[in-house]
Amino acid sequence: MMHKEEFCQIRDNGVWHQNTSLVQILGLCPLLAVTANLVNGVMLSLATIVVMAIANVAVASLRNWIPHEIRIPVFILIVAALVTVVDLSFNAMFHDLYLVLGIFIPLIVTNCIVLARVEAFANKNPPLQSLFDGVFMGVGMLWTLALLGGLRELIGAGTLFSGIEMVIPGLQPLKLFSADYPGFLLAILPPGAFILLGCLIAWKNWIEARSAAAQHVRSSPTAA
Amino acid sequence: MSAPLKTPTAAAMAVRTAVILLIFVLIFTSLLAGAYFWTKPAIEAAAAVEKMKLIGEVLPREVYDHSESELLNNTVTLPPSPALGNEDSSIAYRATRAGRVSALVFEAIAPDGYSGKIRLLLAVAADGSLLGVRVTQHKETPGLGDYIEPRKDKNKERPWITQFDRLSLATVSDAQWRVKKDGGRFDSLAGATVTPRAVVKCVHKALKYVAEHRAALFDVTTEAVK
């Protein structure tokens, strides 16, 4: 089946080393549109995880029957059909959840991450590995979009979790600054998303550079 | 290893690829069609429940003595009219009590909101008075003009939109169908008068429309207003 090492590698790649938003820089359109607050960022990521896991398993199971020359149209066909099926089934079976997540499912169409993972991973790997790849790529997107959405919301409007009452009735958004906080419009607008995303990428690279330097010192004691 | 493998010709390759693509298209299109027909009844039921929830906000339950599904089936078609702001024909739901039409539920659209159209749902009783008004869709400025929606209104005990309850053309004169700033009787919040002005005007026009087409609207036998 699957070794623990392989699983850990897929997990670390998805969540950190190949993070969709910070390393592959994929799916910027939904990222800009949706991360004006934390709740929307998390909800879009959850919808993407579901679609990506299903699409990866479907392509990995069919990969031996898909001719190399026409793989892209076939992938698009599979992904588009699955997004629509997920959309319809959510609407029919989990209607309350659909009212919250529903508007995000069509947004996945603008997201190239799904197609990218199908082409780069599921096309060459067995279904189980592809399932984990889809889920953990989604988890990587989830924490990044949550962080970005939270920062933009906090800086832009001084609140956190606005819109949570639509997901979990009874909960109230947090107001972290005083009521007369004027807000900072730039953070809410798309340019603010670009600037903050740039800061997050710099932060990730800084952490990696630091840990690489620390490893270098440890492995060659003479240099110290 | 009996016969040596022949390299396929370009034409054979193209045909083979096309057939495989066709098979994939057929499989996934039928998957889509299957999912559509399988989920259709559940989605329609959920949509009806939602529609009923919205209607329930403007139409008190005691106004009619039949089931809710009967209410959704007893309709009258309203042709496009500037008084209602509908560009395509829309439908009005007819509530009846003891065989007589007791109320009408229909949609009216205010074309002149601060940013785009404001869609309203109104319930009008047989005596011409308003049972309730709700905003179903709008793009007014968040935090400024969106108090027309009770969910966003800071006044939770008496939301702005409930001012219309029980009013009719008979009790409020034409000149009074304006916001206070324009000399009428309706409240508005400072800094956001365009939005309530559009809503008041729209409700007034809708009531006039009902008065004008009273005979057809409140007769159980008509199916469409001419």
Each residue of A114-143: pLDDT tens digit? 888 999 999 999 999 999 999 999 999 999
Q: In angstroms, rounded to a whole number, what is the distance separating the alpha carbons of residues A134 and A15?
A: 11
Residue A220 vs residue A95, higher pLDDT:
A95
Q: What is the pLDDT of residue A220?
A: 66
User: pLDDT tens digit string along B59-90?
Assistant: 998 889 888 888 888 889 999 999 999 888 88
Which one is predicted more confidently, B154 or B130?
B130
Contact A81/B39, CB-based, under 8 Å? Answer: no
Residue located via tokens 């009428």: B184
Look at residue B188 and give its three-state secondary structure: coil
Higher pLDDT, A97 or B123: B123
CA atoms within 13 A on the CB side of B209: 25
B39, A92: Cβ pair inside 8 Å? yes
CB atoms within 10 A of CB B11: 8
Provide the 8-state DSSP code for A72: H
The answer for residues whose C-beta is within 8 angstroms of residue B27's C-beta and 6 or more apart is none
Q: Per-residue pLDDT tens for A165-204?
A: 767 777 777 777 777 777 777 888 888 889 999 999 999 9
The residue count for chain A: 224
The partner residues of B201 in beta bridges, in order of sequence, read none
What is the C-alpha to C-alpha distance for residues B90 and B81, in angstroms, rounded to an integer? 10
Distances (CA, A) of B143 to A159, B147, B202: 14, 7, 22
| C-alpha–C-alpha distance, residues B214 and B226, integer Å | 12
ipTM of the complex: 0.74
Please tell me the distance from the alpha carbon of residue B195 to that of residue A107, in angstroms, as a whole number: 30
A78/B24 touch (CB, cutoff 8 Å), yes or no: yes
Q: Kindly report the nearest CA distance between residue B148 and chain A, in angstroms.
A: 19
- Report, as an integer, the average pLDDT of B12-17: 90
Question: From B26, which residue of chain A is nearest by alpha-carbon distance?
Answer: A77
- Which residues on chain A are in Cβ contact (under 8 Å) with B16? 67
The first and second tokens of residue A110, run together, are 């603008």
Better pLDDT: A123 or B151: A123
Please report the pLDDT score of residue A124 as a whole number.
92
Say how far apart CA B63 and CA B68 lie, in whole Å: 12
Between chains, do B24 and A77 touch, taking CB under 8 Å as contact? yes
Give the model's pLDDT for residue A221. Answer: 59
Q: Which residue has the higher pLDDT, B152 or B35?
A: B35
d(CA A221, CA B85): 80
The pTM (predicted TM-score) of the whole model is: 0.69
Q: Which residues of B touch A89 (CB under 8 A)?
A: 35, 39
DSSP line for B78-143: E--BTTTTBSS-EEEEEEEETTEEEEEEEEEEEEEETTEEEEEEEEEETTSBEEEEEEEE--PPTT
- The alpha-carbon gap from B154 to the nearest alpha carbon of chain A, in Å, equals 15
Q: Which residue of A has its CA nearest to B28?
A: A81
What are the start-end ranges of the H helices in A95-222?
A: 95-101, 113-117, 127-157, 164-167, 185-188, 190-219
Mean pLDDT confidence for B43-63: 87
Q: Kindly state the DSSP code that residue B160 receives in the 8-state scheme.
A: G
Q: What is the DSSP letter of A173?
A: -
Question: Which residues have C-beta within 8 Å of that of residue B141, sequence separation ≥ 6?
Answer: B114, B115, B192
Q: Indicate if the alpha-carbon torsion angle B39, A111, A78, A7 is positive or negative.
A: negative
Read off the pLDDT of residues A11-49 as tens digits, 9 standing for 90 and up: 888 888 888 888 888 878 778 878 888 888 888 888 889
Asked whether the predicted pLDDT for residue B208 surpasses 50, the reply is: yes
* A96 or A145, greater pLDDT: A145
Across the interface, whether the CB atoms of B21 and A81 are under 8 A apart is answered: no
**For residues A1 and B62, what is the distance between their CA atoms, to the nearest angstrom?**
64
Q: Is the Cβ–Cβ distance between B118 and B140 less than 8 Å?
A: yes
